């Protein structure tokens, strides 16, 4: 039994039958709903089981929804659920979000530089801790070294007799001075009283200065980088006693400022 056409309702015979959109059509009846252009199986577009051409194919349009109290409640609930899920994911992944970085030559060079800086700082801290407590921050290294040396120089002076060795000069330290003489309104300063400092005797080791050093006390000597220190005697791990060959001054000097020749 032959079916009826979906547009005109007449019988559709096999020679002119078009089976499309779940319906049967005459070839002449299978045209666009808007412009009546005859269509075929290659150029038609179906919408709600009706044929349309490409130009008149209905476009879907979105309708605006009013912000009713119910819609606002659903929107707020969706936002809360999103925040809760975000916090849960954050807590799960906290501490696990490490990204793998490739060991490029540049990163390897930076890592090696950081290791070298870390080793240098470690050795500096080790030398400071070995030499004892330091002074306040912001002080010069020479001043801190002189304060550190006061903890052992005083016991050393108390234990050793006060005598002048053959190789050590006599140092002077201002003590309680007598009244200065005045001549016609001009006062002549009184000469300071000489005080003898003890020093270890003997020796003959030679050292070379690797840094400049300025004496922080009257029983120390100043020297420059490259100066030769002779007749050096080791007092302890931090200080020595010797004579600067260039100036002829004799006294105490820090051991970490010189090296053996």
Cα(170)–Cα(194) distance, rounded to whole angstroms? 8
Query: For 113-163, what is each residue's pLDDT tens digit?
Result: 888 888 888 788 888 887 765 444 444 555 555 555 554 444 444 444 444
- Is residue 253 exposed (0-12), middle (13-18) or buried (19+ Cβ within 10 Å)? buried
Average of per-residue pLDDT values in the chain? 75
pLDDT at 35: 92
Residue 71: C-alpha distances to residues 63, 67, 78, 84 (Å): 15, 6, 11, 20
Query: For 179-203, what is each residue's pLDDT tens digit?
Result: 444 444 445 555 444 333 444 444 5
Domain boundaries, the chain: 1-58, 207-260
Dihedral sign from CA coordinates of 245, 247, 248, 252: negative
Backbone angles phi, psi at 206, to 5 degrees: -115, 135
Please give the residue that has the higher pLDDT: either 216 or 130.
216
SS3 of 219, please?
Answer: coil
Q: Considering the domain delimited by 1-58, tell me its CATH architecture.
A: Ribbon (2.10)
Q: Which of 227, 187, 235 is nearest to 207 (CA)?
A: 227
Domain at 207-260, CATH homologous superfamily? SH3 Domains (2.30.30.40)
Tracing tokens 């969706």 back to the chain, one arrives at 78
């Amino acid at each position: 039994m032959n079916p009826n056409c979906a547009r005109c309702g007449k019988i559709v015979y096999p020679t002119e039958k078009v089976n499309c959109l779940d319906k049967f059509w005459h070839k002449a009846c299978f045209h666009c709903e808007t412009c009546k252009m005859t269509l075929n199986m290659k150029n038609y577009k179906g919408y709600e089981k009706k044929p349309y051409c490409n130009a008149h194919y209905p476009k879907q349009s979105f309708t605006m929804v009013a912000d009713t109290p119910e819609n606002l409640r659903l929107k707020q609930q969706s936002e809360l659920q999103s925040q809760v899920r975000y916090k849960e994911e954050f807590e799960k992944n906290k501490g696990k979000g490490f990204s793998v970085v490739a060991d490029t030559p540049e990163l390897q060079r930076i890592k090696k530089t950081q290791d070298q800086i870390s080793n240098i700082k470690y050795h500096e801290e080790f030398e400071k801790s070995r030499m004892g407590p330091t002074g306040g921050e912001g002080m010069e290294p020479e001043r801190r070294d002189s304060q550190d040396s006061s903890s052992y120089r005083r016991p050393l002076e108390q234990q050793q007799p006060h005598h002048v060795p053959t190789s050590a000069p006599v140092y002077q330290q201002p003590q309680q001075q007598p009244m200065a003489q005045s001549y016609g309104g001009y006062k002549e300063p009184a000469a300071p009283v000489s005080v003898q400092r003890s020093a270890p005797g003997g020796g003959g080791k030679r050292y070379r200065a690797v840094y400049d050093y300025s004496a922080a006390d009257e029983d120390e000597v100043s020297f420059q980088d490259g100066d030769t220190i002779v007749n050096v005697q080791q007092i302890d791990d931090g200080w020595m006693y010797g004579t600067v060959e260039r100036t002829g001054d004799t006294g105490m000097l820090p051991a970490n400022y010189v090296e053996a020749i």
